[in-house]
Amino acid sequence: MTESKIVSLEELHRLLAQHRERGRRVVLANGCFDLLHVGHVRYLEAAKREGDLLVVGVNSDASVATLKGSGQPLLPAAARAQLVAALAAVDYVVIFDSPTVAGLIEALRPDVHAKGTDYTPETVPEREAVRAVGGQVTIVGDPKQHSTRDLLATVRERFRR
């Protein structure tokens, strides 16, 4: 079941058209999700509350390396997508290959684009793309007190020999 949530962009277009015919509101969230942690879970659960259907864009390996630098991602995109898809709040996962999710917003035209609390509506990089498709930006999740970068630093420190 988890793997059936991971779809291509073409398949996602078809599925979302069916959901929209039924009047369902589509929410798009995105991220790298390299080492899933509680902040990710809270972000995605809060994003789901913004609509009827939660689509999560997972950055490709190349885009994570561009965003985060050498040594990341730790997990390949397929594994990160499967972890995200296993969460109950998530309806569909699509892997995308750019540093921002603007192209995915243009392609999918979500009703809502949900970003974490490390952003404000004014600092969301894709805010203009969201407005251009008639959507709205929402900031969701708990305060940004969790990060993969901090988790990795803790592991390195505790297990340094």
Q: What is the pTM of this model?
A: 0.91
Q: What pLDDT, on a 0 to 100 scale, did the predictor assign at position 72?
A: 87
SS3 label, residue 63: helix
Write down the number of H helices and E strands in the chain: 7, 5
pLDDT digits (tens, 9 = 90+) for 117-157: 999 999 999 999 999 999 999 999 987 776 777 777 777 78
Smallest Cα–Cα separation from 75: which of 36, 31, 39, 115? 36
Q: What is the mean pLDDT of residues 60-79?
A: 92
Element housing 96 (H / E): strand 92-96
Q: Using pLDDT thresholds of 50, 70 and 90, give the confidence band for residue 46.
A: very high
